[in-house]
């Protein structure tokens, strides 16, 4: 078999405005990707009266939260060294569109109360309810949605983004757009247009993970033995190490298990996916992505077997499903007009141009074991210009592909913040259209001010 790799694929993919493709639509705003950031951006722009087309490669909204089954809304609550059992409980510091979506999930009984995650808290969601909540918001706002549709090229004239080339089973067409929001998570538009980007730290990106759900669990018995903290207790780590010494394929010894809104079910974050030769996998490369998926499903069976044999309440448990895809933490990071630095995260830096708070720890899945650096009773803020590519006009990004250093991204990439990046991108897009102002010339403080009116805590 011929060896295939990322080097066999060609970027960029730019076409001129007069390219010979049928024009599907002309809109104010094209949003690429229907994850947390894309849903927020499309909803906010449409509610301001703009014509919005949202395209998504899967048949549902959700991105990594649903297709990747990451399953939690992380990044809403402060971390604390106070005893989480006797202390005041979770303190929410991220609101805005994040809170709006959280309420939508909760109203549909698709979200758990906050669960302990080490020094902070997170809530687990039902992936079907996530899709339904997104569907309802998008429909109410008047967003036109195209599922099962991928972006394969960018329409450009000079530095101006003028739309995108779309592909589906129906064929290939063009959408012309006055503004484009790249919420793909992978900087798909920016990369295809030839914009600069990086892969993590000198090419090292965070490990993907295959999440899975277990049904048939006696949840009360499980919690009585495992404990309330979703991060595994020492005795579980010791048993994983013992099983591994006997040949079990259990590369992570610290695993995370969450209860879900469904009765008798747990969601498990346990696998660590690397190449057969031990190298880091870059899931932009479909060969690496395929290896991650196949290896991930094998690891899921090993961890499920370990849980059934060793964890209380799980003797009759079975795997319900894995993610539609491996859970992706990191791919491309754009070169932005500003960059979120590692130092800004660890020092809790505030910024008058910022558009989101983040209290989530640096949760770096890179190497033998996850690295956690907690931000105790504090948060940092993400500057607006981290969403704006250093070059190109009429385009902004939203989601995990924002401009950030490697360890900073390991904190800033989580779901609550992605909702707020989308919120910011939607607000900035409306300002850009209404005033004819390039994204990079919009003051972050103005975006921040509108977001505050929309309920964001800034």
Per-domain residue ranges of the chain: 13-70+93-110+127-198+333-453, 212-322
Angle 208-216-268 from CA coordinates, rounded to 5°: 15
- pLDDT tens-place string over residues 165-203: 999 999 999 999 999 999 999 999 999 999 999 988 887
Question: Would the pLDDT of 1 be above 60?
Answer: no
Report the mean per-residue pLDDT for the chain.
Answer: 94
Taking the alpha carbons of 384, 390, 396, 400 in that order, is the dihedral positive or negative? negative
Model confidence, pTM:
0.95
Q: Name the superfamily (CATH) of residues 13-70+93-110+127-198+333-453.
A: FAD/NAD(P)-binding domain (3.50.50.60)
Question: Would the pLDDT of 384 be above 50?
Answer: yes
Distances (CA, A) of 61 to 32, 58, 133, 352, 426: 11, 7, 9, 32, 17
Contact 134, 39 (CB under 8 A): yes
Taking the alpha carbons of 27, 155, 423, 351 in that order, is the dihedral positive or negative? negative
pLDDT of residue 2: 47
Q: What are phi and psi of 146, to 5 degrees?
A: -125, 105
Question: Would the pLDDT of 34 be above 50?
Answer: yes
Which residues have C-beta within 8 Å of that of residue 368, sequence separation ≥ 6? none
Question: Would the pLDDT of 305 be above 90?
Answer: yes
The percentage of the chain sitting over the pLDDT mark of 70, rounded to a whole number, equals 96
- Residue 135: strand, helix, or coil: helix
- The DSSP output letter for 139 is H
Taking the alpha carbons of 235, 237, 243, 245 in that order, is the dihedral positive or negative? negative
More confident residue, 31 or 288: 31
Q: What is the DSSP string of 354-399?
A: EEEEE---EEE--SSS-EEE--BT--EEEEGGGGSBSS-BSEEE-S
- What's the distance, CA 299 to chain centroid? 22
Question: Would the pLDDT of 4 be above 60?
Answer: no
- pLDDT tens-place string over residues 333-381: 999 999 999 999 999 999 999 999 999 999 887 666 667 889 999 999 9
Residue with tokens 């209404």: 434
* Rounded Cα gap, residues 175 and 131, in angstroms: 25
pLDDT of residue 277: 84
* Rounded Cα gap, residues 50 and 52, in angstroms: 6
Give the orientation angle of helix 127-141 with respect to helix 96-107, to 10 degrees: 120
* Rounded Cα gap, residues 394 and 396, in angstroms: 7
Distances (CA, A) of 341 to 180, 191, 260: 26, 22, 34
């Amino acid at each position: 078999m011929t060896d295939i790799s990322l080097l066999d694929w060609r970027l960029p993919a730019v076409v001129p405005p007069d390219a010979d493709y049928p024009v599907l639509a002309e809109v104010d705003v094209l949003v690429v990707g229907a994850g947390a950031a894309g849903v927020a951006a499309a909803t906010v722009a449409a509610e301001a009266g703009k014509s919005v087309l949202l395209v998504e490669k899967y048949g549902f909204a959700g991105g990594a939260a649903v297709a990747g089954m990451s399953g939690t809304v992380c990044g809403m609550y402060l971390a604390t060294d106070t005893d989480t059992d006797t202390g005041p409980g979770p303190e929410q510091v991220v609101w805005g569109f994040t809170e709006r979506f959280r309420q939508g999930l909760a109203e549909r009984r698709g979200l758990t109360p906050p669960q302990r995650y080490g020094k902070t808290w997170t809530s687990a969601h039902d992936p079907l309810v996530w899709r339904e909540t997104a569907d309802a918001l998008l429909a109410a706002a008047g967003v036109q949605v195209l599922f099962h549709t991928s972006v394969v090229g960018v329409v450009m004239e000079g530095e101006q983004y003028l739309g995108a080339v779309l592909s589906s089973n129906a064929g290939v067409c063009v959408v012309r757009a006055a503004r484009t929001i790249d919420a793909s998570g992978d900087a798909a538009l920016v990369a295809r247009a030839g914009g600069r980007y990086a892969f993590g730290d000198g090419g090292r990106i965070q490990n993907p993970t295959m999440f899975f759900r277990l049904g048939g669990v006696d949840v009360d018995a499980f919690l009585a033995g495992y404990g309330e903290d979703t991060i595994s207790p020492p005795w579980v780590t010791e048993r994983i190490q013992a099983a591994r010494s006997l040949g079990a394929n259990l590369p992570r010894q610290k695993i995370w298990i969450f209860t879900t809104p469904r009765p008798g079910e747990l969601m498990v974050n346990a696998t660590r996916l690397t190449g057969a030769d031990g190298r880091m996998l870059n899931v932009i490369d479909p060969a690496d992505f395929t290896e991650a998926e196949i290896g991930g499903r094998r690891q899921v069976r090993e961890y499920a077997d370990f849980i059934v044999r060793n964890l209380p309440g799980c003797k009759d448990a079975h795997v319900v499903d894995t993610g539609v895809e491996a859970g992706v933490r990191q791919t491309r990071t754009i070169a932005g007009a500003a960059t979120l630095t590692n130092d800004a995260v660890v020092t809790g830096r505030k910024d008058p141009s910022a558009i989101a708070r983040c209290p989530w720890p640096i949760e770096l899945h890179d190497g033998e074991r996850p690295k956690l650096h907690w931000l105790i009773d504090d948060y940092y803020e993400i500057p607006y210009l981290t969403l704006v590519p250093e070059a190109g006009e009429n385009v902004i990004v939203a989601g995990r592909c924002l401009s950030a250093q490697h360890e900073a991204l390991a904190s800033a990439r989580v779901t609550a913040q992605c909702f707020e990046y989308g919120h910011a991108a939607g607000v900035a897009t409306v300002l850009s259209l209404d005033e004819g102002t390039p994204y990079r010339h919009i003051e972050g403080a103005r975006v921040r001010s509108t977001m505050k009116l929309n309920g964001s805590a800034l």
